[in-house]
Structure 1
């Protein structure tokens, strides 16, 4: 990992849109959760190369609603570092549970989330067909179903 990388919380007006749209191609969807969320960015100097967005929920729960790493920086452990930071901050903040959702075609992400302790808690069939106007393909698979995962923090 490059020594110049550091984590910093950003406010809504500093949101790195190109990164946010990598994880969720719908600007409308991102705008539905971003204003009430905490945004943590991995910065190289002043340039955001990774981002994780945590949106508060009910009953001591929160959801990671966006996680993205610049394509030129992928494969260096930044996504893992961002997730670990989000988990640590949620635990330190007294949250009971942290959730995350991804597509059925996001194979690397599903593996990473489970290695960090997230467990599959639900599937929403055809979520991406209903909520996105254009088909999404990853790893040669059409993204159709939303896979929901959660990690228990302070049971």
Structure 2
């Protein structure tokens, strides 16, 4: 998977804005990135949700949650399947960097399952580095997931957390 070097016209014409009271929560995207509605609802209530919109259609979502006074986490990042590979995710991550810097955070985190190679590639290309591993994260969160999770046909057991200094 190669990332676009230049922003596509689609990315240029998209708008990133905060979710407001008139917006429908894009559960279709959020649950694609994290299939636990219980977890999604918990960080939606404690974080800030940003939508990427083109012509009133939500094509991307990003949820930022404060970890502590110096650290913020991208808790959920999702792009509509038919829009992937066009730079939308890259733009949302760059937007997250700007928001985090403006709010005075020093570090930004992002996490995914260990076999989720596409996002891992993107995150590292964006400057994130391996920070730590939560072994058996998906196994120990049985109450949040109704069935085992798989990425690329590989069972998700561990959560890999990456960080970037801002």
**How far apart, in 1, do the equivalents of 2:110 and 2:18 lie?**
19
TM-score normalized by structure 1?
0.93
The alpha-carbon deviation at position 59 of structure 1 amounts to 2.7
Q: Which residue of 2 aligns with 1:84?
A: 94
State the partner residue of 2:16: 7
1:114: how far off?
0.9
Deviations 1:46-83 (A, max 9, x none): 11100111001213211110000001111111111111
Q: TM-score, normalised by structure 2?
A: 0.87
Could you tell which deviates more after superposition, 102-111 or 2-11? Answer: 2-11
- In structure 1, the partner of 2:155 is 142
Q: Distance in 2 between matches of 1:43 and 1:56?
A: 24
Choose the corresponding residue for 1:55, options 61, 65, 75: 65
Helix, strand or coil at the partner of 1:94: coil
Which stretch of the first structure deviates more once superposed, 35-44 or 1-10? 1-10
Number of residues paired by the alignment? 153
Residue number among 21, 25, 41 corresponding to 1:31 in the alignment: 41
Shift of 1:13: 6.7
Q: Give secondary structure in 1 for the equivalent of 2:69.
A: coil
How many angstroms apart in 2 are the aligned matches of 1:21 and 1:12?
20
Match of 2:140 in 1: 130
How far residue 86 of structure 1 moved from its aligned partner, in angstroms, is 0.4
The yes-or-no answer on 1:74 pairing with 2:93 is no
Flag structure 2 segments of 5+ consecutive residues without an equivalent: 1-7
Contact kept, 8 Å, 1:12 with 1:34, in 2: the verdict is no
For structure 1, the 5+ residue unaligned runs are none
Provide the C-alpha distance between the structure 2 equivalents of 1:8 and 1:126, rounded to a whole number of angstroms.
Answer: 35
